[in-house]
Structure 1
Amino acid sequence: MKFSHQLQFNIVPEWADYYLAYDNLKKIIYQVEKDLVACGAASSNDLESGAGSQEPNERTGLLTSGARATAKAKANNMFLPALDKELEKIVTFYYKKERELYAEVEALSSDVEFVENFDPAVTTRMAGSGHIVGGPKALAHGSVRRTRTRNNSRASRGSTLGRSGSWRYDEALALANAAALKTGEEVTKSADHVPNPASTLNGHGPGSSSEATAINNLDPQHDEDDDDENDQDDDDGKSLWFDPEMEQERMRFRHNCIEMFVNLSELQAYAKLNNTGFSKILKKYDKVSENNTKKVYMNQVVLLAYPFKQETTTKLQEHIDRVSAIYAKIFTNGDDEVAKRSLRMHLKEHMVWERNTIWRDMIGIERKSQAVGVRPSSALKTGPIVVRTPLGDIQLPEFFTRNALVLLACCAVFAVLLNIELFEGPEQQNCFAILIFASLLWATEAMPLFVTSLLVPLLVVMLRVMRDDDKDHTRLDSHAAAKKIFMLMFSPVIMLLLGGFAVAAAMSKFHIAKAMATVVLSKAGTRPSAVLLANMLVATVASMWISNVAAPVLCFSLIQPILRTLPPGSSFSKCLILGIALASNVGGMASPISSPQNIIAIEYMKPAPSWLEWFVIALPICLVCDLAIWALLLWTYEPSTNTPTISTIRSTKDPITGTQIFVCGVTVVTIILWCFEHRLEWLFGDMGLIAIIPLLAFFGTGILTKEDFNNFLWTVIILAMGGIALGKAVESSGLLHMIAVEVQHYVKDMSAFAVCCVFASMVLVIATFISHTVGALIILPIVAQVGATLPDPHPRLLVMSAALMCSGAMGLPVSGFPNMNAIMMENDMGQPYLATSDFIKVGIPSSVVACMTIVTLGYGLMTLLGW
């Protein structure tokens, strides 16, 4: 494996910017090589012109001694300063990270020492002096237990992997209370009773084979019946770690020890990897420049730098051994070998997870840069299609694939509709044929969705379905229709979509979305219900800003440590994956840029809603839907029965950079301007113009590059543009008016609420079986026209309800990208977590709940806003 690949594959993702920039240094070496070749060619020309003292031959160097020395000096002046800069970066980061980790180890050691040496008699004296209400008796009985419970709950909520600091007073008091409970009345009689600190080496806990043996050897019945023997054990100084009341603190120390061991091991690997990197890059440089720089630079510069000194390496190993000793003292009965095996196992699991994440990122980068794709199994070449008839089997030619047959069938329907007179005018007739043809292609995906979108303006212009806006509705010729349709396709809504993509790209590129998500998830604790709700809310909020296509991908990568540590047969894995998928669908309602159907809906809402209005309507609906889906998942799978606790997610500790602050600032300013766009219409004219601000801020400053711009979801943009073109064609041809009149005939006696229920139900059924965006493209123009022609017009209300319902359709694995991503999730054995039956059990009821919420709560909110 090339070292550049080895470096990329073994880095700590959060420290990626602080490793040796191996690829950049190689580019400098390539430039040095070019300069040397150029100098060599010049020297060769001098020799050929007679400048040399002898005839050149195969042994003659291309460079004279003076030219060679000049070229080497120039190469050194180009390469060595860059190397010095990299070394300085590594030394600064290592020293900073070392101080942080050593301080955490000291805090951990202090905490352990404090617990071992804490005098429970102090609590007794405080109780006797009135500092603790109830006196010694209350301290040793009921009030102590209640205080203990509260502090245990607080410790449980705070016992994340990222926490390692000094104990608060109330936690220390809780430990004393636990000791008081064990010693009983004897503590109240003797204020000088101090447990033996040395006895704390005999604790046991979960995490290794010896730990499991220790747990199995416990006899609860014996503990309950033999009180005298227990009292004798306490007099002998039994360890606090062995007390069941100490379980929460033991688990907190276990998490902290594991995290310290992992972090220190990563720092150790960081130094070794960079040391190897310097050796490799210097070797490559010497080979190109014919220097002997490696030996001198490594011995006199690199190995004398702080991270690579022998004493630094020894000091780091001592701290790793110190953490192992603490872990052994508390959990493995002092067995260092068992403790090290347990900690190395956790380190291996962590490395597997990180490498899996890095590998996925590398594949994603490769796919984006090289347009690499994997076709589904249905698209792979199979055997010839055989049609069975009464007269025998007919084998079709190889080019007759399923998609080809579906495409031919769609074209046949299109040709028939063009020649059957269903409407009075040719514009309506042709436009109806285009509408059905495009809908069939979108629904069957015989062609990629965006290709069908490109087909729409072609057919609209060739079949001349566009009419003039004058009173006579003159049919436009092809030249005028082409100008009009292209002018309509690139609307302010498309610019709004581009602005949303820029915000999402910046938040994803600089790990802002991931950092915010991990901080929230690290606070969720270990209860399955709380972790599930936290992940669902994170998925909804992430979908709100980085689209409900990217959000589930991010969230599924964050829960990998949880999925790997779940016991076999745990229902929580299904519960968690389904919760994220359904919450991501719900998040598609949350903001105007969270899903393409929202962008399409804004196009048909006159006047367009402000962001503030959208939030007032959508956010309460999203919250209610999330809570209802959460309760439904807990009721269906009952994860607490087979998974009482789970591992917590470690929050990132990287410092906030200036770039991240700038990205957040631009995003917040853009969102505020979007919220108050109506009041600033005199300045900006449309919210699409406001979307240019993040594009200028991010691309103009170099935060985002042209590669990021090329990686925008241009297929989604083309799809939206094709939908806008089809909607405008249906409207301009007069077909929309005719359909709306017919629909109005059926709903003329219904109230606006009843019409809202009818359209929401219709959208629910359509969007469940086809793409949410395609469903919006087909039905939103009709909804807008019907809403405008009601006796009491409510076009914005109906369009908004239908658009929200598009995101709420999530009953099948094919209902939206989050569901498709969830159904593809597999465990380490390659077995899928979910089946279609899981979506039927939870997805369909969730869709019904979303529909009811939209037509009740959503309808009420939109009515209050005067829609």
Structure 2
Amino acid sequence: MVKAARCGYVILIMAAYWMTEALPLAITALIPVFAFPLLGILSTGECCLVYMKETNMMFLGGLTVAIAVEHCNLHKRIALFVILHVGQSPRRLMAGFMLTTMFLSMWISNTASTAMMVPIVDAILVELYATRSKKQEENATAIDMSVTSGQNQLELSPAGENGVSDGHNAIDTNNHEVEKEDKITDEEIDAANAEVFRQRHIMRRALLLGVAYSANVGGTGVVTGTSPNLVLMAVLQDSFSEPTGLNFATWMAFNVPGMILCVILAWIWLQVLFMGLFRKQSPIQQSTPERTAAVRRLIRQKYKELGPMTHHEATVLTLFIILVLLWLFRAPEFVPGWSAWFKDAFEGVEVDDATPAMLIVTLLFILPARLNFWCFRNPKDPEPPQPSPACMNWQVVHEKIPWGVVLLLGGGFAMAEGANKSGLSAWLGDQLVAFDVMPKEAIVFVVSLMTAMLTEVASNTATASILLPVLKEMALNISVNPLYLMLPAAVCCSYAFMLPVATPPNAIVFSAANMKSADMMKAGFIMNIICVVVITVMINTLGVALFDLQHMPPWANSTINALN
């Protein structure tokens, strides 16, 4: 119990530093390296080993492939292609931006996907809400016609005193009308421009919030999408010796439907909030056919500027697809995966997801980005052949990989290891047995809501590292399948929509849209509730069907028996 108290003290210090950012997050993650050995919780060797586990290597591999996608501009091609084909009306544009950001955020970092979308949003809105309206052009044309009419009346007036007088009166009358027309037109132009500016501002906030929400939710779709997913996989791998049934394929089977549902509901909510959906009068008017065509021309022009797909892009896309397929079919559960061949051939050698990730990364550094050698070279080219660069180089990887996140993951693993070895997780799990009086569905909702609120003020990796070991012990103590509590909590670590400091996408959008914190909190609070409700429904329907959550699994029972 004394060792558990010491471990709890270290975790409280780390949690306080992570929430207040008194120290950089990565430096706080290194505290267990000296604190755990000095307090007798873990030896230095045991503590350091968990900083580079298989999960971290998988994370590095997936991140390097994602950087290769960014490096060759393949992500921009995908984004423009989707937006071009979804549609150019305000509602269709929002759907296109959100679906594109969601898909990209599954594979590349949510920060990169958000940062890429912001300038595209601005460029499209310039065309969609141009300050010179068609009404302004019509008014200018009417003025020209009025002046021309006055001149014609002067020329066609009959000779004589009355005729001259009539002609003079005609000129005065028309000049008076022109001045009046000019005055009215200026007012109409100012009013029209003010209205266009107001609609553009509303639409910009709606689109940017949609991009941020989609980036945060998109990371839940695959295991490598965001750090809390990897923390969950690592905790399950360390805690249970037998397969738990949660792998790359089953993760996607469970989380992709929920991810898509959350994005659709976010799209509806933003329309209710900003576009007046279900209201008689919408604050954003539908775009004219002329402006819709202008937006389409702009997107098509930007897409054409990328040119045809290069050999570099095609190679990276092929390797990316191969990696996803290798992850999906390594151990899909419903059929023997390809890793079983090596396990049978080499006497129980386990091949995990880090192996195909590092294989693809190595190929990225081997395969050329251009075919300008041997039979691929144009014989008419007067220039001597030059060595082709590889699809990826170390300088790009070194600059773009967030090494602090790697340390943050390692610190979370060390914290979880210390809590497990010291008995702190078991003690906390015993204290939470009182929740057993509640219905299991209510427990999931409370845990998910608590996690979503905590991740607003703390790093999502730190939140997952602290909560998941405790939830594992709580589930074992109340005889509930650990996945029933741990999986929704891990997903909810990504549901940070309320505060600018919660996630990098929120911070990027908050700065770009010049919005107030209250505006983001009002929209984000409802999004938090929506997503928590969705994950609660999903775990009690699809989750039960996929993982048989109504019964304690054999892999959990064996752990309970070992502890007893």
Structure 1 distance, partners of 2:478, 2:361, is: 40
What is aligned with 1:544? 106
What is aligned with 1:843? 524
Contact 1:752 1:794 in 2 (8 A): no
Letter in 1 for 2:218: G
Match of residue 816, structure 1, among 503, 510, 513? 503
What is aligned with 1:56? none
- Using the TM superposition, give the Cα deviation of residue 488 of structure 1 relative to its aligned residue in structure 2, in angstroms: 2.2
The runs of at least 4 consecutive aligned structure 1 residues that moved more than 6 Å come to none
Contact 2:451 2:492 in 1 (8 A): yes
| Cα 1:590–1:488 shift into 2, 3 Å | same
- Using the TM superposition, give the Cα deviation of residue 726 of structure 1 relative to its aligned residue in structure 2, in angstroms: 0.7
Structure 2 distance, partners of 1:556, 1:720, is: 28
Match of residue 453, structure 1, among 7, 29, 34? 29
Structure 1 distance, partners of 2:522, 2:50, is: 43
Match of residue 759, structure 1, among 420, 440, 447? 447
Counterparts of 1:247-258 in structure 2, within 5 Å, are none
Deviation digits for residues 493-538 of structure 1 (CA, Å, limit 9, x no counterpart)? 0011011111111110111111011011112333101110110111
The answer to whether residue 361 in structure 2 is matched with residue 695 in structure 1 is: yes
Deviation digits for residues 196-227 of structure 1 (CA, Å, limit 9, x no counterpart)? xxxxxxxxxxxxxxxxxxxxxxxxxxxxxxxx
Deviation digits for residues 593-613 of structure 1 (CA, Å, limit 9, x no counterpart)? 111111111112343622211
Counterparts of 1:136-175 in structure 2, within 5 Å, are none
Structure 2 distance, partners of 1:668, 1:784, is: 34
What is aligned with 2:177? none
What is aligned with 2:323? 670
Match of residue 411, structure 2, among 710, 722, 741? 722
Letter in 1 for 2:363: A
Letter in 2 for 1:854: I
- Using the TM superposition, give the Cα deviation of residue 454 of structure 1 relative to its aligned residue in structure 2, in angstroms: 1.2
Structure 2 distance, partners of 1:797, 1:613, is: 14
Deviation digits for residues 10-46 of structure 1 (CA, Å, limit 9, x no counterpart)? xxxxxxxxxxxxxxxxxxxxxxxxxxxxxxxxxxxxx
What is aligned with 2:284? 642
What is aligned with 2:270? 633
Contact 1:813 1:819 in 2 (8 A): yes
What is aligned with 1:518? 80
Counterparts of 1:470-481 in structure 2, within 5 Å, are 481=43
Structure 1 distance, partners of 2:539, 2:92, is: 27
**Which protein has the larger Cα radius of gyration, Structure 1 or Structure 2?**
1
What is aligned with 1:804? 491
Contact 2:58 2:353 in 1 (8 A): yes
Structure 1 distance, partners of 2:521, 2:48, is: 42
Letter in 2 for 1:457: V
What is aligned with 1:652? 303
Contact 2:497 2:521 in 1 (8 A): no
Structure 1 distance, partners of 2:461, 2:422, is: 23
Q: Paired residues, what number?
A: 421
Match of residue 855, structure 1, among 513, 518, 536? 536
Structure 2 distance, partners of 1:431, 1:695, is: 37
Structure 2 distance, partners of 1:523, 1:428, is: 57
Q: Secondary structure at the match of 2:70?
A: helix
Match of residue 492, structure 1, among 42, 51, 54? 54
- Using the TM superposition, give the Cα deviation of residue 554 of structure 1 relative to its aligned residue in structure 2, in angstroms: 1.2
Contact 2:274 2:283 in 1 (8 A): no
What is aligned with 1:407? none
Contact 2:51 2:413 in 1 (8 A): yes
- Using the TM superposition, give the Cα deviation of residue 665 of structure 1 relative to its aligned residue in structure 2, in angstroms: 1.4
What is aligned with 1:464? 40
Letter in 2 for 1:667: F
What is aligned with 1:293? none
Structure 2 distance, partners of 1:677, 1:750, is: 38
What is aligned with 1:288? none
- Using the TM superposition, give the Cα deviation of residue 843 of structure 1 relative to its aligned residue in structure 2, in angstroms: 0.9
Letter in 2 for 1:484: E
Structure 2 distance, partners of 1:714, 1:643, is: 46
Contact 1:605 1:799 in 2 (8 A): no
What is aligned with 2:258? 621
Letter in 2 for 1:632: W
TM-align CA RMSD: 1.7
Counterparts of 1:175-214 in structure 2, within 5 Å, are none
Structure 2 distance, partners of 1:736, 1:642, is: 52
Structure 1 distance, partners of 2:469, 2:356, is: 25
Deviation digits for residues 804-848 of structure 1 (CA, Å, limit 9, x no counterpart)? 11112312222211111100105xxxxx2x221221221110110
What is aligned with 1:437? 13
Deviation digits for residues 519-578 of structure 1 (CA, Å, limit 9, x no counterpart)? 111123331011101101111111001021211111112212123343301111111111
Letter in 2 for 1:652: Y
What is aligned with 2:193? none
Contact 1:572 1:643 in 2 (8 A): no
- Using the TM superposition, give the Cα deviation of residue 752 of structure 1 relative to its aligned residue in structure 2, in angstroms: 3.2
- Using the TM superposition, give the Cα deviation of residue 643 of structure 1 relative to its aligned residue in structure 2, in angstroms: 4.1
Letter in 2 for 1:719: L
What is aligned with 1:737? 426
What is aligned with 1:573? 204
Letter in 1 for 2:11: L
Q: Secondary structure at the match of 2:437?
A: coil
Please, what TM-score do these two structures have when normalized by structure 1? 0.47
Structure 1 distance, partners of 2:236, 2:540, is: 16
Deviation digits for residues 203-262 of structure 1 (CA, Å, limit 9, x no counterpart)? xxxxxxxxxxxxxxxxxxxxxxxxxxxxxxxxxxxxxxxxxxxxxxxxxxxxxxxxxxxx
| Cα 1:643–1:524 shift into 2, 3 Å | farther
Letter in 2 for 1:622: M
Letter in 1 for 2:272: W
Higher relative contact order (CA 8 A, sep 6+): 2
Contact 1:618 1:858 in 2 (8 A): no
Match of residue 591, structure 1, among 217, 222, 225? 222
| Cα 1:642–1:755 shift into 2, 3 Å | closer
What is aligned with 2:279? none
Letter in 1 for 2:263: D
- Using the TM superposition, give the Cα deviation of residue 749 of structure 1 relative to its aligned residue in structure 2, in angstroms: 2.5
What is aligned with 1:80? none
Structure 1 distance, partners of 2:7, 2:518, is: 40
Structure 2 distance, partners of 1:636, 1:488, is: 45
Structure 1 distance, partners of 2:325, 2:440, is: 32
Deviation digits for residues 758-788 of structure 1 (CA, Å, limit 9, x no counterpart)? 2112102211222222221221221122223
Counterparts of 1:29-48 in structure 2, within 5 Å, are none
Letter in 1 for 2:81: V
Letter in 1 for 2:458: I
Structure 1 distance, partners of 2:205, 2:397, is: 36
Counterparts of 1:783-802 in structure 2, within 5 Å, are 783-791=471-479, 793-802=480-489
- Using the TM superposition, give the Cα deviation of residue 850 of structure 1 relative to its aligned residue in structure 2, in angstroms: 0.1
Alignment gaps of 5+ in structure 2: 130-195, 238-242, 277-281, 332-336, 343-349, 368-389, 550-564
- Using the TM superposition, give the Cα deviation of residue 728 of structure 1 relative to its aligned residue in structure 2, in angstroms: 0.4
What is aligned with 2:314? 661
What is aligned with 2:184? none
Q: Secondary structure at the match of 1:768?
A: coil
Letter in 2 for 1:573: R
